[in-house]
Amino acid sequence: MPIQPVSGNTTFVRPSTFYINGFSNVPHAKYYYIFLCLVYTTTVLGNSFIMCTICLARNLHTAKYIAVFNLAVTDLGGSTALIPRLVDTFLFEHQYISYVACLANMFFVFFFMTLQSLTLLALAYDRAVAICFPLRYHAIVTKTAMALIIGCMWVFTTALVASVVALITRLSFCRSTVVNSYFCDHGPIYALACNDNSLNIIMAYVGVVTILCIPLILIGISYACIAFALLRIAQGTGRIKAMKTCTSHLILVAMFYLPLLFINIAAVVSRLDPNVRIINYSLTQTIPSMLNPIIYTVKTEEVRQSIRGLYKRAMVNKTVDKNMKSTADK
């Protein structure tokens, strides 16, 4: 195995490549990768559609839809960081990846996953203020405030994930370089180190707490506040109308957090089969990104109205252009 010594106070042994192992002894695994290609295509089309709709529809130029737009960006970015590389690795059998490319892959996968989680938290904050303080909502959740929240999330996520990835460079890999995962996963890589990786283990726990635990607890608190506020609404119709504004977000939260939660609990309670882990994690990281724009289109009245308005405007413009062309020909 070719290695590269890094000079300094301490010498770190770095491999020139890692080998992404993926599935082991799974027949017809290529069909799964073809399925992920279809998922990625749908993700790109769906999220591009929702982003274009938000940009073109003026009534969606609100604080809430700044966060929804950011969610679409992170969904698209997360799927792009993962699926094309995964398909190239296993469908076309390019399982060796350079050391630098591996760290870049790790950074972008975890970067967009963290942003997805924090964006769902921002949307929970938006819903909590809208229902608990309806008269002050537009004064509290302004477009400037939401843009600032989103900007801080990007800065925080960049710093956190860059720190996690940078600590990998302090590890020596003098034995195996076979990564038992479907991408350059943080845990399976630091487990291969032959020097002290205790700091990497700590950062792994910090990552789980940041991506999973804290946002989920805060989202739970926000919905507890929402439930309390809904109980004070006397009229049943008003309560139902307020609940409908949260439906899309609750579905997104369930799709993103519950599979991750169950997988991590299962991994702690019992030894998870590598193939089961790969399937569960890959679906958890790709399916929500595909379904998010579909759910927002189907379940959100504002988006449906905006799409209908844009369609009518396009038809009117097409008719006007056709009439103008006919007049010019005469």
End-to-end Cα distance, the chain? 77
pLDDT tens per residue across span 183-236:
999 999 999 999 989 999 999 999 989 888 999 999 999 999 998 888 887 566
CA distance 96 to 100: 12
Task: Name beta bridge partners: 229.
Answer: none
CA distance 237 to 270: 46
pLDDT tens per residue across span 114-128:
999 999 999 999 999
The residue whose two tokens read 């010498």 is 11
CATH code of the domain in which 203 resides: 1.20.1070.10
Q: Does residue 152 form part of some domain?
A: yes
Query: 67-90 burial, b for 16+ CB within 10 Å, e for fewer?
Result: bbbbbbbbbbbbbbbbbebbbebb
CB neighbours of 168 closer than 8 A, spacing ≥ 6? 103, 106, 186, 189, 190, 200
Q: Does residue 100 form part of some domain?
A: yes
pLDDT tens per residue across span 38-93:
999 999 999 999 999 999 998 899 999 999 999 999 999 999 999 999 888 888 88
Helix (H, G, I), strand (E, B) or coil at 270: coil
Range of the domain at 204: 17-304
Report the pLDDT value the prediction gives residue 234, as an integer from 0 to 100. 56
Max alpha carbon distance in the chain (Å)? 84
Q: Does residue 313 form part of some domain?
A: no
- Give residue 328's pLDDT band: very low, low, confident or very high (50, 70, 90): low
DSSP string, 141-153: S-HHHHHHHHHHH
Residue 114, token pair as written in the block: 């963290």
Question: What share of the chain in percent tops pLDDT 70?
Answer: 92
Q: Does residue 113 form part of some domain?
A: yes
Q: Does residue 172 form part of some domain?
A: yes
Report the pLDDT value the prediction gives residue 152, as an integer from 0 to 100. 97
Q: Does residue 82 form part of some domain?
A: yes
Q: Does residue 12 form part of some domain?
A: no
Helix (H, G, I), strand (E, B) or coil at 330: coil
What's the total number of domains in the chain? 1
pLDDT at 14 over 70: yes
Report the pLDDT value the prediction gives residue 73, as an integer from 0 to 100. 96
pLDDT tens per residue across span 241-299:
777 778 888 988 998 998 888 877 877 777 777 778 788 888 888 999 999 888 877 77
Q: Does residue 310 form part of some domain?
A: no
Q: Average model confidence (pLDDT) for the chain? A: 87
Report the pLDDT value the prediction gives residue 7, as an integer from 0 to 100. 46
